[in-house]
Amino acid sequence: MTSTLKISALTKCFASLKALDAVSLAVEPGMRVALLGHNGAGKSTLMKIVLGLLPFDSGSVEVCGAAPGSAAARAGVAYLPENAAFHPALTGEEQIGHYLALRGESPKGARALLERVGLHEAAGRRIGSYSKGMRQRVGLAQALIGKPRLLVLDEPTSGLDPVSRRDFYELLDGLAAEGAAILLSSHALTEVEARTDRLLILSKGRMVASGTLSDLRREAALPVTIRMTARNGYAADIAKALPGTIRFGADLQLSCSQEDKLGTLARVTGLGDRLADIEVTPPSLEDIYSHFSRRDGQ
Amino acid sequence: MRRILATARTEFRIAFRNRWVAIAIGLMALFALVLTAAGSAPTGVLGADRLSVTVASLTSLAVYLVPLLALLMAFDAIAGEAERGTLPLLLTYPGSRVEILIGKLLAHLIVLALALVAGYGLAAAAAFLADPGAASGLPALFRLGWTSLLLGATFLGAGYALSALARRPSGAAGLAMGLWLGAVVLYDLALLAAVVADGGGWFTTDLFPLALLANPADAFRLFNLAASEATAAATGVGGAAAAMPLWQSALSVLLWPLAALALSSAAFRKVTP
Ligand SMILES: Nc1ncnc2c1ncn2[C@@H]1O[C@H](COP(=O)(O)OP(=O)(O)OP(=O)(O)O)[C@@H](O)[C@H]1O
Ligand SMILES: [Mg+2]
């Protein structure tokens, strides 16, 4: 399958600062890829290069089979900037109508688009009077225009309330199912964890990890946490039986590596009815994320 | 073409909401009325009808006011988009940067045209009231109208170029005012000073006419004064106007808008959002 977006060994410098350092990635049709990284990691820079807004120093970038920023690439790519801004004197409907016309569609479709992002009531009001989340939705609405083959979304859910976030990811699922490739950046790890196919972690301009969540989990090899609750009076017994256990009253906590997980669990279950409850927690995406980010001295 | 029209429609809407349409019309109308009131005394220019005289004084007004209005509308065009943060998204849409500029130019020209119709219309109406034979000045008025639009287009283009170079609206406003002062006021003063110092030498005979043609505001004035009969009512430039072939100033008036558009699109192309 040919990739909608293909980047290899991309390097970009701002004066002495290396904002991107030999970054390679590919996004296939129907794939939702999340770009993670600390503030200033280079996420927005990477996206602007994909859109042809910024020149780059070396490497290659191919968008829908064309050069970034070329007419063919622009026809197939939708973008949501980090801080979506619009002219305050226009209404949401007029602004979306304008974007529709720029893509060669009838401005009459504006209302329907705004309805898709839940903004139909404010469609006739000036954008200057919108809240941040409402402006963000105007940004989302314009990214849905036409049938983009690639969506580049820079922190699309910032400023959205929890319900709208869920609606937004449902929209994305629909687009991906129709074959759109999606590259989005985010700082909200939990939602990204559940709603994307692949994760890329940038740190100081370098790609420090890429793959599915379970790939990253395996590669990071972070310890699994086992939490146990002892039955009355058995806590001390259990702590003695399982070396390395930390005890807080009747609650106990034990960490073990991924490989030792099953063996440790067998020993824990061997304790029989001295245990009231047991809970196994794999490393969270936060843990994995900070593992990869920190490895770089972050 | 559709994209250009869409941009023009949106820009006109913005200009309307920002009161630019009202300000431009009000300003032109006000100055035209003041001019009419000031010029209502009999002028006694030989053979000239009332409207031709009005056109001559409107020409002197337009040389200052049209570039000013154009620059005021233009300086925000790109720097404002950059500052608001709307530029990056706009540039990811299909269509070239020239199309964006032409769309804006179209909208701003319509605003300018409305202002000119209001201002010149009022002045012409006053001339007709005072002199029933004013109709013979209509060709001059018509000529003033379309050359004013071309002059406006030139300074709109120059304003876009400055807007792209400055990147910030405040800087662009400063540059625009500097250009206005330089091109419309100081340029003529400097030329006159040079002519006086030269005392009828090589500069006055060879370079001075070219220097006038090179400035779009001067070329506009030359063309309108030379084409109309009322050169006698004109300022110091009048003498030069009489000596110069009409096609030269006409060419300058026609070419400058294209040059300004090329300049602005070159400057806009250099902008990285
Ligand atoms: N136009 C520019 N000129 C100079 N340096 C820049 C420019 N744009 C970005 N940078 C630098 O490049 C680095 C990467 O910035 P970028 O905006 O890509 O970060 P980011 O990952 O999007 O961060 P955030 O999560 O805060 O949005 C930063 O150190 C930033 O200061
Ligand atoms: Mg960013």
Interface list for B 107-146 with A (CB within 8 A): none
Among B132, B183, B147, smallest CA distance to B55 is for B147
pLDDT for the residue numbered B230: 47
Mind telling me how many Å the CA of B2 is from chain A's nearest CA? 7
Interface list for B 45-84 with A (CB within 8 A): 84
Strands A150-154 and A77-80: parallel
Reported as a single tens digit per residue, the pLDDT across B226-253 is 776 544 444 445 455 556 778 888 888 8
pLDDT for the residue numbered B166: 93
Q: Name chain A contacts of B95, Cβ cutoff 8 Å.
A: 102
pLDDT for the residue numbered B231: 46
Q: Which residues contact A102 (CB under 8 A, 6 or more apart)?
A: B3, B6, B7, B93, B94, B95
Please state, in angstroms and rounded to a whole number, the distance separating the CA atoms of residues B98 and B90. 13
pLDDT for the residue numbered B78: 95
Strands A150-154 and A181-185: parallel
Which of A51, A83, A142 comes nearest B85 by C-beta? Answer: A83
Mind telling me how many Å the CA of A223 is from chain B's nearest CA? 43
Q: What is the CA(B37)–ligand 1 centre distance, in A? A: 60
Task: Indicate yes or no: CB of A79 within 8 angstroms of CB of B2.
Answer: no
Please state, in angstroms and rounded to a whole number, the distance separating the CA atoms of residues B67 and B227. 21
Reported as a single tens digit per residue, the pLDDT across B55-111 is 888 888 899 999 999 999 999 999 999 999 999 999 999 989 999 999 999 999 999
pLDDT for the residue numbered A105: 92
Q: Which residues contact A120 (CB under 8 A, 6 or more apart)?
A: A111, A114
pLDDT for the residue numbered A48: 94
As a dihedral over the C-alpha atoms of residue B160, residue B161, residue B162, residue B163, rounded to 10 degrees, the angle is 40
**Ligand nearest the Cα atom of residue A12:** 1
Q: Name chain A contacts of B9, Cβ cutoff 8 Å.
A: 98
Give the chain B residue whose CA is nearest to the CA of A102.
Answer: B3
Query: With an 8 Å Cβ cutoff, is B38 touching chain A?
Result: no
Reported as a single tens digit per residue, the pLDDT across B147-164 is 999 999 999 999 999 999
pLDDT for the residue numbered B178: 96
- B167 membership: H or E segment, kind and range: none
Q: What type of residue sits at position A1?
A: M
Task: Indicate yes or no: CB of A54 within 8 angstroms of CB of B272.
Answer: yes
pLDDT for the residue numbered B233: 46
Please state, in angstroms and rounded to a whole number, the distance separating the CA atoms of residues A155 and A188. 9
Q: What type of residue sits at position B11?
A: E
ipTM here: 0.87
- Atom 5 of ligand 1, residue of closest alpha carbon: A14
Which of A48, A78, A104 comes nearest B2 by C-beta? Answer: A104
Please state, in angstroms and rounded to a whole number, the distance separating the CA atoms of residues B80 and A124. 24
Going along chain A from its start, the domains and CATH numbers come out as 5-218 (3.40.50.300), 223-282 (3.30.70.920)
Among B110, B67, B59, B86, smallest CA distance to B237 is for B59
Query: With an 8 Å Cβ cutoff, is B13 touching chain A?
Result: yes
Whole-angstrom CA distances from B26 to A72, A190, B142 are 45, 57, 21
pLDDT for the residue numbered A1: 56
Longest dimension (CA), chain A: 74
Q: Are A149 and A65 in contact (CB under 8 A)?
A: no
DSSP A51-74: TTSS--SEEEEEETTB-TTSHHHH
Q: Are B118 and B24 in contact (CB under 8 A)?
A: no
Reported as a single tens digit per residue, the pLDDT across A265-285 is 888 888 788 888 888 888 888
Q: What is the CA(B270)–ligand 1 centre distance, in A? A: 20
Q: What type of residue sits at position A222?
A: L
Please state, in angstroms and rounded to a whole number, the distance separating the CA atoms of residues B268 and A28. 34
pLDDT for the residue numbered A95: 95
Rg of chain B taking only CA atoms, in angstroms: 19
pLDDT for the residue numbered B243: 65
pLDDT for the residue numbered B239: 56
Mind telling me how many Å the CA of B134 is from chain A's nearest CA? 43
pTM: 0.88
Reported as a single tens digit per residue, the pLDDT across B168-216 is 999 999 999 999 999 999 998 998 888 888 777 777 777 888 888 899 9
The two three-digit tokens of residue A130, written as one number: 């919108």
Please report which confidence band the pLDDT of residue B14 belongs to, taking 50, 70 and 90 as the band edges: very high
Task: Spell out which residues line ligand 1, taking CB within 6 angstroms.
Answer: A 14, 17, 19, 37, 39-45, 82
Q: Which residues pair with A256 in a beta bridge?
A: A224
Q: Are A183 and A78 in contact (CB under 8 A)?
A: no
CA A115-A121-A126 angle, 5° bins: 105
Mutate to test the interface with B, among A12, A86, A87 (most CBs of B within 10 A): A87
Helix, strand, or coil here: A248? strand
pLDDT for the residue numbered A10: 94
pLDDT for the residue numbered B144: 93
Which of B89, B93, B272 comes nearest A81 by C-beta? Answer: B89
pLDDT < 70 stretches in chain A: 1, 295-298
Give the chain A residue whose CA is nearest to the CA of B80.
Answer: A87
The CB-side HSE value for B176 (13 A sphere, CA atoms) comes to 32
Helix, strand, or coil here: B263? helix
